[in-house]
Structure 1
Amino acid sequence: MKCLSRLQAIEKKWQQYWNSRGTFMAEPPVNYNKDTHSSKKFFVTFPYPYMNGRIHLGHLFSATRAEFAVGYHLMKGYKSLFPFGFHVTGMPICGAAKKLADEIKRYGCPPIFPSVDAPCPSEGTASAENTIDKIGQFKAKKNKLNAKTVSKSQWDILADLGVPEKEIPKFTDPYHWVSYFPALCYKDMRKFGARVDWRRSMITTDANPYYDLFIRWQFRKLYRDGYIKFGKRNCIWSPLDGQACMDHDRFSGEGVQPQEYVGIKLELINYTSLLKEQREQQQEEDDDLDDGLAEAMNMKLPRFYNNPKNKAIFDQLWEYQVDNVKVYLVAATLRPETMVGQTNCWVLPTGKYGAYYVSKDEVIIVSEHAAMNMAYQGLNNDKPFGELDFICEISGSDLLLATVRAPLSPYEQIFVLPLETVKMDKGTGIVTSVPSDAPDDYACYKDILENRNGVAEKYGIDVALMLEPYSPLPIIEIPDIGTLSAVRLCEENKVSSQHDKAKLTQIKETCYTKGFYTGIMRMGPFSGQLVKDCKQSCRDLLLQNDQCIVYSEPESEVISRSNCVCVVAAADQWYLDYGNSAWKDKVRYNIEKYLNTYHDEVKNQFLRTVDSFREWAASRSFGLGTKLPFDEKYVIESLSDSTIYNAYYTISQYLQGGSLDGSAGLLPVDIIDDSFFDYVFDLSSNLPDKFMEYFSNDTAGNDRLHNVKKGLLVPDVNSQIILAIRSAEDLLNTIRESFCFWYPVDLRCSGKDLVPNHLTMMLYNHTAIWSNDETKWPRGMRANGHLQLNDAKMSKAAGNFLTAGEAIQRYGADAVRFALADAGDGVDDANFREETANNAVLRLYNLLSTCQELLTNSVVCYPESYEAMLSTVGAGSANCVHECVFLASIIDCTLRACSAFERCNFREGLIISFNDLGHARDQYTHSCETRKVPYCRFLIEEYISIQAKLLAVICPHIAEELYAEVLSRSGSIFHDPLPSQDAFAEMMKCMRVFLRIDDYVQATIARLKNYLIDALKPRKDGTAKLPNGAKTAQVYVAQDCPEWQMRIAEFLLNMYNDKSEECGGLGALPKDASSRVSKYCTEVLGTPKKDLQKVMKYAAQLIATSKTDGPDALVTKLPFSEHSVLVAYSDAVRSGLGVDQVSFYAVGEGPIPPESCKAATPGKPIVFFE
């Protein structure tokens, strides 16, 4: 507790310091000119969190990617800006407010629920569930999700968030949420020490009139430029809410889009109608038809025509007045081109299907899931939007063994057979069977054909009649596989049944991928064409021939925040035309030319998203937000108003006066029009008339200007900029310069789940708004994974959950930052360990005390500066070698940490700047202690300075304390950046040798320890080689190696550095290096056969070592004197070996004869013990 209390006191002190001095308030340079200025700047943003509760560790994790990045660029000396807003647009707040109002209305205030486990859902949900029947419009979700989302009352949810009981009723007003939770988030982020310019913060929706005007301007511009259109388009739809359900309105299924299916119309053969038609036709030809005609006509039909199953289905439908209409089993497919290979169709024997009118002349049999989606797409016999024209329920067992006509199949009729893995919540519940190229179909086909597990008998299947005549058809030829790919691969892989899932999954990937992209059609109307080229054509052909219906459903399940299973609806709506090919091309160009995505997989995901992006519903009927300016009965949806607000951050302080909702606004709302935004966002050179008139050059106008300047002034932050404003045009240009300086966005940090929607939409809208100015397009987007807590998914229900406020209170801000940085880099899910945060408290506290102690115990001594240190550098010099190694390590750690931070790999940077640099410090202090010399003041101060500045990226409070209290330096550490990386890199050129020395010493001590282990082993007869242990050690260094060894090493080094493909490329030896050495020895060096084994053994050692040590293993001449270095490190060697005395000799100079030291080679000394 002592450590934590001390750290939290430090954090509070520095947060007050930053706040009072505006440390993180960022402004352009004085006299900035967008056409000539080249000042280094960094502008980073993070998707503003949704304010329906307290922020948690997951929010903090994503936010720290931006926060750490701004910290790093501040330490680079860049002008750096990190703004932070609060999102309240959309349905979730409205839904929660309504739910709370329903609870209070039903159960009082405070509500008394019937039981803790079963509070009543909202009226909307209850009403929906009470009116569900076979022809209902939707169903509420009833599963684990329902239990999780509905079992807890909204009253209890707010209470758990810490809302006082007397305050809870106020949350029935959605706008109370808008004012309540942003204030708490602001407080949490302040305690976190976020390096945010809070002047620029805002809330969204019409609760903030300035942001509202900004969104209206954006949409009017998009509309004028043709990017927004109106029409009937497919979208994910919430039947309960009666409007489109976009990503931020979803409890689950974020990123899911409509998926188009081709519904193959498998006509259920009506034998009665066929017979009737034939009778009528015959009667026209012969009026004297005898009484035996019926039997005769019946005999003309194939023997399986009079299928009792079909008659039973038609009889069942006739009971519901269904007669003289076509009846179809509709099978949904994504591969219409394969329909030429149909041999049967599958249904789920236990499935519940329904018969529905889609028009007055057509009845379809499908799952209720599919029918619901169709009903919202107009496939419901002209019934009202979303209403089913339901006839009756039909079970899967009723459909089994019926016969249908299958479009494009060469078989005139096919049978309906059982498949126990058919999904009723995906597609129509009816599946066409193409066993030639679908492994699952073939496996099931074989199961029935061979009566595996008695399946044929179980369902009464006459295999000879229903399966044997319907062999798989060779419809697609795949290179290297041939036709009948599923048949061939299933047989080769010995698939045992339809339940052999692992093998079938692998085979399916091969059949589907290779078949689609490289396969050639060998049957049907598109024979000879590539499969991938005829998919659309086949769809169109089936549609033209009235042999299919086209409908869509969600790619996977989507649940709205109102707990409703969503469908796809063809609804009239305003939409952003993201499917526009020219617009797509611009976005791809931005991604390819300008956008740094930090990971190739993220870039590829962006490109895939752009390829598949389609029209996006930009409006909804109700919810919080901004009204669509050209159709005010609609509200702009929550992702559509969140695409270019980064631009608003650059000017918001001039509008809102530091208030979140604009209530302290400095400029009247009625002078902020489209011409204002066009001008300040560098889209027009025309001064806005209303703005200019308001600040007209008279006494009133001057007074207004004076008041605005007074409201904007922040001493020591923007004094020179504000005082230079003398007219309305000056003010406009100052606002415009703020935008032009900070734009484009250098980095946008976000969770990876926003790549398929929000982040891609940001790219789209930037290329649209600034279509003619590529300098304004985003430059970087960094996606991170989700955050686990203690190696498990964060879950309130499971008790594995931490809000940001709880974490900061428990561990302090810097320890939480430390653990968040350590949680992980990359796009895979990260893991916050409370153990790491807890340990960080002690580690940071110890760092502070250690640095203070080091400085206290250091003395001013040589070297006293970088210049003095560099003057000692030279091969063979042992003067100050320990100090040089320490300085080289400091520089190396700085360069490596900065490289990691530049790539947004903050865990890697933390490890280098905290662990590696700390290890270098400990090595140096240990060497001083063993040498009995004081610490060098210059080096200790330089270490603490670099340590503080690198740590400032992650843990700014402790860094400030090191800088101010330990080093006694004035001002903030963020105003004293790291040394130039270029300067350090240049210095490293002559200091790198000392890193080699450090590696050499560590490797040598490890190698000599192995000699000691061998020396202490008993002889074969059991006697000890050193009865009294090792007391002294004599180390022998080889100054040179034999010429043949030098030639072998040189030959291998040349191969290692050879960039040609023949030699394996730069950075490794080719696989045949050993045989090349053998050839070189015999043909070039002329090595005698008796020596070849010894030579090849040496070469093999070098080859093996090069795999771990790289080219250094192949260098026979070190860039320093081994003898001098080992003498300088004699105490470390003696301590490492545990001997009383150690001496060092060059081979041939000590008491041990040279013949006994042949094992010594350059870089690999040997040792003798006594």
Structure 2
Amino acid sequence: MCISEYVQVQPHPKPPQFATWSNQNQPPLNPTLVVVLVLLLRHAHAGLKNTQKEYPGTKPDSLSLAFVVLRQNLHKCSRNALPINSLLLNHSFHQHSDMAGEGGKSFARRDRLLQIEHDVRKWWDEEDVFRAESCEKPPEPGEKFFGNFPYPYMNGYLHLGHAFSLSKLEFAAAYHRLRGANVLCPFAFHCTGMPIKASADKLAREIQQFGDPPNFPHESEEEIDTVQEAEEANAGAPPDKFKGKKSKAASKSGGQKFQWEIMRSFGLSDNEISKFQNPYNWLTYFPPLAKEDLIAFGLGCDWRRSFITTDMNPFYDSFVRWQMRKLKSMGKIVKDVRYTIFSPLDGQPCADHDRASGEGVQPQEYTIIKMELVSPFPPKLGVLEGRRVFLAAATLRPETMYGQTNAWVLPDGKYGAYEINDTDVFILTQRAALNLAYQKYSRIPEKPTCLVELTGYDLIGLPLRSPLSFNEIIHALPMLTILTDKGTGIVTSVPSDAPDDYMALHDLKSKPALRAKYGVKDEWVLPFEIIPIINIPEFGDRAAEKVCKDLKIKSQNEKEKLADAKKLTYLKGFTEGTMLVGEFTGRKVQEAKALIRSKLLEMGLAIMYSEPEKRVVSRSGDDCIVALTDQWYLTYGEEEWRKLAEECLSNMNLYSEETRHGFEHTLSWLNQWACSRSFGLGTRIPWDEQFLVESLSDSTIYMAYYTVAHLLQNGDIYGSSRSSIKPEQLTDEVWDFIFCGGPYPKSSDISSSILNKMKQEFEYWYPFDLRVSGKDLIQNHLTFSIYNHTAIMSKKHWPRGFRCNGHIMLNSEKMSKSTGNFRTLRQAIEEFSADATRFSLADAGDGVDDANFVFETANAAILRLTKEISWMEEVLAAESSLRTGPPSTYADRVFANDINIAVKTTEQNYRDYMFREALKTGFYDLQAARDEYRFSCGAGGMNRDLVWHFMDVQTRLITPICPHYGEYVWRILLKKNGFVVKAGWPEADSPDLTLKSANKYLQDSIVLMRKLLQKQVLGSKKANKKGAPVTTLSEDNRLAGLIYVNEQFDGWKAECLRILQSKFDSKTRSFAPDGEIMEALKNSSVGQAANFKQTQKLCMPFLRFKKDEAVALGAQALELRLPFGEIEVLQENLDLIRRQIGLEEVEILSATDPDALAKAGTLVSLLNQNPPSPGNPTAIFLTRS
């Protein structure tokens, strides 16, 4: 095949009906050339790997970099180049796999799974397996399961982060479906908010600036520098790591600077991209692709109920409008002015989902102290003469203003004199001035006016009158540690209580050279002493000074020590401090703080100021501020409403104490939430249509909409197909009737049968049983959902459960587009198959901590699943060779018991939504039990009925995680009727725990015998130990083993166990104090014996060992004998013992039988060195002719 033909060939055939990107646009780069580069690089890498075998120190850094750079530039090729990308994926991720084929380069196993998945999805589709229908009769507990997942935002493809959270719901729903429940698992697509609109607008600006298609400055110096920096950054990196030097914003876009490039990375052609200037084009493009990916993933969804948000769907739009009107009528939505995180570029509040970074960040309130500049003004400020000029110092501690000795400025800091109104001017940073301008403190609203640009040097020495200060005049002095991205850049100095202030003032006082460097006059510093204002227990009335001396802080530059000092003084000062001065002398600081602040505000000596507590960047790339806005708010936090939310929470299953604490904490601080915005997509506020409903506020009770969506939309996610109901017919009375138990809407012209059917659907499915989400949504979306459910719906319809999980990492590293450590769901399925992807997602982890998706696990899953299919095919093809009749041997009984244990434990793991554990008990452990059974059966072979039972059970247990695999085995291999996804949970007898213990004893004993054999047989290193009795093997002799068993403790050991039994609490698995146990031992027959001192040395380690064993295993560890006959178990498995250890003869003997001891001959001394005890047999190996 010529190289140009190769470009057109997909190296890994994709199954039919799995979406692939179309190929239209001609590439700017020659794809043939790119393929040549790929092949050369792969050839070079193969050679390098061979070199590494001989020279392990060889590092393929430049090669790895070449691959990454080549992959990052594939967007310059047309979609015809996607096979090239597949080549690179193969190089990067499958070069290590040991699939079928030499060198691990065959994809036959993966491709077989993909073909199976394609076939199975066709079977499901033909029978509409996941269609969910309600019943007229209300469901009994456990009879139905309704689970849901926060609908993802549709500005790109679904990725493994989405899939990880979704998999928790999918596995849970699949388990409940398997056990026979009526399951509803719907899915929808979120399009409300600003990200799509912001991206569309950005694209339009790029087209306007650079043309259509745009001609970007790709070869700019900036890009060359970036590549060079990347090479430098990777100079010392491991060969399999590539670390790009990109900003957080660049990371979110995968490193593309322009929106057009981001769209290209989605596989769009230049001809298509320009259409995305229209934000509604996003809504018709990405949701169908997401649906294709989810179908390929095997999601058991009733797609009739799917929908998109925004006014593009008139039915959902009506639902949201009703919800908002209802909340407003209840007084839950009000209009008010408050501080809000705000994007000046977007001209609206920036809620959590509108942020590229800074999710969860709230406004931080300060008090700005107006430190008035005393005239005459210096020449630089001469233009301000006649106006009131203030250094605007932001503080969180207004109660400490009595102790001011000076103000602080950053010498190199950039400041400005900003016009606040006709008379007042504030000196502060531009950033703070912008915040103030949006908080009604600017002569021109929202536009700060700088009258004079200044630096900190211009401010040093300025004389000031500051509110509450006992010093009539103080001065502005230099401080080197001020952060100009916090507060106003001007800081008040209170050295009595602020360690930073104390050390900075101390430096200036004690270092004349420092004063000279910044032009600080002695009279500005030396006369000013610490003013005691607050008494703090342990620290006295000069807390900062004491703590700094205690911590041995020498300079203002010791930032870490000063941070520790600040924590000590601030917290203790607020909680335990008492005011020593001022109007509120004698009051606790925590009482006086608010009173002093109010006094300063009332007297006009200070103003309120707010800014984001941390940096917030909007999805438009704008640094956000805090604005005082007139908005519609939901009154979250209102006392009565919060009590209802807390009641709801207390009755919910949250599956984790950490999750519960997260909700409790959120309810403790969450208050008014802005539910309106003026930019983006969505539903209009019904009574104030200049505003849109904010993207989190239209997403709180939409789970209820799933119950009726199929009846309204006729299966069309946009609600545009013909339906027997028109959106305008959905009045508030209709919605109230369906969801709130309202009266029948007599004025409605919707047929009564349809109205009653919608009500039936809701009443049957609600409340939902489970909502799965990332833990980051606790602080907003999930808590909002609780609030709104309690306001709108009756208690019987309140949510039953939330299950939260952490984020997912890939191969133990953060998932990031910029580093290439990223996979869309589509890529993962193509690379590993759906079931192997699901397998690895289940194995990634279950808790609220971050989980880890490991490529090696996914590759191993491909191997495991296909090998298991092959094993079943081989067994079924040779079925006649299996042993018939009822299972009767010891191995049969153990294997059947292992299957029963797997059924019971896996069921509990699925019920607890512990899917990693379910995978372990339902697949890994069951596979191990099967492998042990195969070996244990020996020449007698496996029992046919038991093997069939195993295949049936294993198929059902793994089906929630790997449903395509399960369905294929069920139908094609086992020839079963129906679908395994609805086959019912397998029945199982109660596990025989005694038999399980007996088998563990058997396996442990075999391991122990092997070790003893190695020690005793001549030739081994351990047997050559000086003085050890050994057995010599010859060709004419047979190797025999005498296994000695002592089935019951006696003598002093038995007495010790009886004492421990009397001192053990089996419920708490704890013992009485050691002193009490020792007293009992001294008073026992052992303690009264004449040789007790000698026996005590043996008793103590035995007591410690059995105590530890009892804590781990329970009271059974303290029994005098095991709950089964050891001799009987070993006797029944002589053949297995012979085969496992390699013996020709084996005898099981009692260590208490003198005749049995005589058989050991001269080697009987070994029994004295290693005497057997219950659970620990010993053996002597000898030869017989």
Q: Shared fold (TM-score greater than 0.5)?
A: yes
Report matched runs for 1:824-973 at 5 Å. Answer: 824-855=845-876, 880-929=889-938, 932-973=939-980
Map of 1:805 onto structure 2 = 826
What's the offset of the Cα at 1:438? Answer: 4.1
User: For 2:1088, what is the secondary structure of its paired residue?
Assistant: coil
2:346 counterpart of 1:317: no
In structure 2, the CA distance between the partners of 1:854 and 1:580, relative to structure 1 (3 Å rule), is: same
What's the offset of the Cα at 1:1169? Answer: 2.7
User: For 2:748, what is the secondary structure of its paired residue?
Assistant: helix
Cα distance in 2 for residues equivalent to 1:1026 and 1:186: 70
Q: Which runs of no fewer than 5 residues in structure 1 stay unpaired?
A: 121-141, 273-310, 696-727, 870-878, 1060-1065
Map of 1:1036 onto structure 2 = 1044
Cα distance in 2 for residues equivalent to 1:528 and 1:1050: 66
Map of 1:275 onto structure 2 = none
Map of 1:628 onto structure 2 = 685
Cα distance in 1 for residues equivalent to 2:1002 and 2:576: 58
Cα distance in 1 for residues equivalent to 2:586 and 2:484: 36
What's the offset of the Cα at 1:47? Answer: 1.2
Cα distance in 1 for residues equivalent to 2:462 and 2:1064: 71
Contact 1:369 1:426 in 2 (8 A): no
Map of 1:765 onto structure 2 = 788
2:167 counterpart of 1:64: yes
User: For 2:1063, what is the secondary structure of its paired residue?
Assistant: helix
Contact 1:354 1:367 in 2 (8 A): yes
Report matched runs for 1:184-263 at 5 Å. Answer: 184-263=289-368
Deviations along 1:596-643, one digit per CA (max 9) or x if unpaired, are 222222222222222222322222223211111111122212111111
Contact 1:576 1:617 in 2 (8 A): yes
Stretch moving more, 577-586 or 856-865: 856-865
Deviations along 1:829-853, one digit per CA (max 9) or x if unpaired, are 2222222222211111112222333
Cα distance in 2 for residues equivalent to 1:553 and 1:423: 14
Aligned residues with identical type, % of pairs:
40
Deviations along 1:1010-1053, one digit per CA (max 9) or x if unpaired, are 54455453566478734449943322111222143223223224
Q: Which amino acid aligns with 1:1025?
A: V
Map of 1:85 onto structure 2 = 188
Cα distance in 1 for residues equivalent to 2:535 and 2:278: 61
Contact 1:376 1:569 in 2 (8 A): yes
Q: Which amino acid aligns with 1:600?
A: E
Map of 1:1083 onto structure 2 = 1083
Contact 1:824 1:831 in 2 (8 A): yes
Cα distance in 1 for residues equivalent to 2:943 and 2:718: 55
Q: TM-score scaled to structure 2, two decimals?
A: 0.82
2:415 counterpart of 1:357: no
Q: Which amino acid aligns with 2:451?
A: I
Cα distance in 1 for residues equivalent to 2:639 and 2:559: 40
Map of 1:1098 onto structure 2 = 1102
Q: Which amino acid aligns with 1:373?
A: N
Q: TM-score scaled to structure 1, two decimals?
A: 0.83
2:128 counterpart of 1:25: no
Cα distance in 1 for residues equivalent to 2:162 and 2:967: 25
In structure 2, the CA distance between the partners of 1:451 and 1:68, relative to structure 1 (3 Å rule), is: farther
What's the offset of the Cα at 1:11? Answer: 0.5
What's the offset of the Cα at 1:569? Answer: 0.9
Cα distance in 2 for residues equivalent to 1:206 and 1:450: 68
What's the offset of the Cα at 1:435? Answer: 4.5
Q: Which runs of no fewer than 5 residues in structure 2 stay unpaired?
A: 1-106, 224-244, 1159-1163
Q: Which amino acid aligns with 2:211?
A: G
User: For 2:420, what is the secondary structure of its paired residue?
Assistant: strand
2:485 counterpart of 1:425: yes
What's the offset of the Cα at 1:1068? Answer: 3.5
In structure 2, the CA distance between the partners of 1:1096 and 1:94, relative to structure 1 (3 Å rule), is: closer
Deviations along 1:1132-1157, one digit per CA (max 9) or x if unpaired, are 44455444433211122353269945
Map of 1:713 onto structure 2 = none
Cα distance in 1 for residues equivalent to 2:451 and 2:428: 12
2:987 counterpart of 1:977: no
Counterpart of 1:1119 (choices 1109, 1119, 1123) is 1123
Map of 1:167 onto structure 2 = 272
Counterpart of 2:841 (choices 815, 820, 825) is 820
Map of 1:1005 onto structure 2 = 1006
Map of 1:994 onto structure 2 = 995
Contact 2:960 2:981 in 1 (8 A): no
User: For 2:904, what is the secondary structure of its paired residue?
Assistant: helix
Counterpart of 1:1143 (choices 1140, 1147, 1152) is 1147
Cα distance in 2 for residues equivalent to 1:966 and 1:603: 45
In structure 2, the CA distance between the partners of 1:435 and 1:978, relative to structure 1 (3 Å rule), is: farther
Contact 2:883 2:942 in 1 (8 A): no
User: For 1:394, what is the secondary structure of its paired residue?
Assistant: strand
Map of 2:709 onto structure 1 = 652
Map of 1:675 onto structure 2 = 733
User: For 1:170, what is the secondary structure of its paired residue?
Assistant: helix
Deviations along 1:1056-1078, one digit per CA (max 9) or x if unpaired, are 3266xxxxxx12446x53x4332
Map of 1:293 onto structure 2 = none
Q: Which amino acid aligns with 1:1056?
A: F
Cα distance in 1 for residues equivalent to 2:361 and 2:756: 43
Cα distance in 1 for residues equivalent to 2:347 and 2:839: 46
Map of 1:1163 onto structure 2 = 1175
Contact 1:477 1:522 in 2 (8 A): no
Contact 1:672 1:691 in 2 (8 A): no
Q: How many residues align?
A: 1033
Map of 1:13 onto structure 2 = 119
2:482 counterpart of 1:470: no
Map of 1:127 onto structure 2 = none
Q: Which amino acid aligns with 1:1125?
A: V
Deviations along 1:263-282, one digit per CA (max 9) or x if unpaired, are 233334x165xxxxxxxxxx
Map of 2:606 onto structure 1 = 548
What's the offset of the Cα at 1:343? Answer: 4.5
In structure 2, the CA distance between the partners of 1:541 and 1:862, relative to structure 1 (3 Å rule), is: farther
Stretch moving more, 913-922 or 360-369: 360-369
What's the offset of the Cα at 1:1122? Answer: 0.8
Contact 2:304 2:716 in 1 (8 A): yes
Counterpart of 1:563 (choices 599, 621, 635) is 621
What's the offset of the Cα at 1:1113? Answer: 3.3
In structure 2, the CA distance between the partners of 1:683 and 1:354, relative to structure 1 (3 Å rule), is: farther
Q: Which amino acid aligns with 1:1049?
A: L
Contact 2:380 2:458 in 1 (8 A): no
Cα distance in 1 for residues equivalent to 2:575 and 2:1136: 64
What's the offset of the Cα at 1:182? Answer: 0.8
Cα distance in 2 for residues equivalent to 1:449 and 1:850: 84
User: For 1:691, what is the secondary structure of its paired residue?
Assistant: coil
Contact 2:325 2:686 in 1 (8 A): yes
Contact 2:536 2:572 in 1 (8 A): no
Deviations along 1:118-162, one digit per CA (max 9) or x if unpaired, are 999xxxxxxxxxxxxxxxxxxxxx993566669633222222211
What's the offset of the Cα at 1:10? Answer: 1.0
Cα distance in 1 for residues equivalent to 2:1113 and 2:915: 27
Cα distance in 1 for residues equivalent to 2:404 and 2:1143: 84
2:178 counterpart of 1:75: yes
What's the offset of the Cα at 1:361? Answer: 3.6
What's the offset of the Cα at 1:444? Answer: 4.1
What's the offset of the Cα at 1:910? Answer: 1.7
Map of 1:1049 onto structure 2 = 1057
Map of 1:709 onto structure 2 = none
Cα distance in 2 for residues equivalent to 1:1095 and 1:250: 67
Deviations along 1:913-948, one digit per CA (max 9) or x if unpaired, are 22122112211122112xx22212332223222222
What's the offset of the Cα at 1:55? Answer: 1.4
What's the offset of the Cα at 1:195? Answer: 0.8
